[in-house]
Structure 1
Amino acid sequence: MMKIAVTYENGQVFQHFGHCEQFKLYDVQDGQVVSSQVVSAIGSGHGALAGFLQQHQVDTLICGGIGGGARTALAEAGIQLYPGVPGDADSKVSDLLAGKLAFDPDTQCSHHHGEDHNCGNHTCGEDKHGCAGNH
């Protein structure tokens, strides 16, 4: 069984891994999605999201932008990363399973300026992204 996670918001691939409040998890067997569910990651934050995915036995992640620290954490967790993916989450999983997913391995979140980054250093916008600068 393979488990794919997609950063998720309103059916779309959410474009900022570190601010992702939901993941859609897909259980895949014999190249087919056999089940899926949306799970909340609220409160996990930048550094804990790789561990959150590991707890859910995820081995593959499809996402939009992602910072260097998160990339390292995912690699250490043994999670295969497909960054730089926009669009409908379900269709992107189908594309991956069909071997035709378009992604950009060099996609980075440009506002991450090293290991000292924290949410208080920039305006994240809506509090719903779990990043109101009040950690």
Structure 2
Amino acid sequence: MEATMTLAVPSNNPGGLDAEISEHFGHCDLFTLIQIQDGAIASVDTVANVEHGAGGCVGPVKLLHNKGVGALVVGGMGARPMQACADVGIAVYRAELLGLKHVKDAAAGLLAGSFALMRPEQTCKGDGNCHHH
């Protein structure tokens, strides 16, 4: 992990460290942005998600890229937004959300190195069987 990095976590309103993690990347209310500096949380901000229109979840990826996000913790996401993240240099970490409820849990897990990078075969296939994306 870089010395300074911005982490994004899909969140339910109102966002922030105590907010619940959203189970749906593309349809989350907002993203909590966590500035990590030297292995610790330096600041926390939120940014409203963009409309999930044509192009699927690529709009939120562009939003996060424009905000300088370097890492994203998700329970799951589709192949298209995952590829879009790769294209702009956002590392996607997959966290089983069953044990995570709040944004602070996702931040702590990332800082502890508990999450692996998401693999293409772990993406949601759009068949309705993927609950967390």
TM-score band by shorter chain is: 0.7 to 0.9
Does the Cα contact within 8 Å between 2:7 and 2:70 map onto a contact in 1?
Answer: yes
Gap change, CA 1:48 and 1:98, over 3 Å in 2: same
Gap change, CA 1:49 and 1:112, over 3 Å in 2: farther
Alignment of 1:1-135 (within 5 A): 1-9=4-12, 11-43=19-51, 45=53, 46-86=57-97, 87=100, 88-101=102-115, 105=119, 106-111=121-126
CA deviations on 1:39-68 (whole Å, 9 max, x unpaired) are 111325522111100010000000122000
Following superposition, the deviation at residue 104 of structure 1 comes to 5.9
Q: Could you say which residue in structure 1 is the equivalent of 2:131?
A: none
Q: Percent identity?
A: 30
CA deviations on 1:69-91 (whole Å, 9 max, x unpaired) are 00110000100001243122112
Cα distance between partner residues in 1 of 2:10 and 2:116: 16
Aligned length: 113
Please list every run of 5 or more consecutive structure 1 residues that lacks an aligned counterpart in the other structure: 114-135
TM-score (norm 2): 0.74
Q: Could you say which residue in structure 2 is the equivalent of 1:131?
A: none
SS in structure 1 of the partner of residue 75 of structure 2: coil
Please list every run of 5 or more consecutive structure 2 residues that lacks an aligned counterpart in the other structure: 14-18, 129-133
Following superposition, the deviation at residue 103 of structure 1 comes to 7.5
Q: Could you say which residue in structure 2 is the equivalent of 1:119?
A: none
Higher Cα Rg, which structure: 1
Does the Cα contact within 8 Å between 1:8 and 1:20 map onto a contact in 2?
Answer: yes
Higher deviation after alignment, 19-28 or 97-106: 97-106
TM-score (norm 1): 0.73
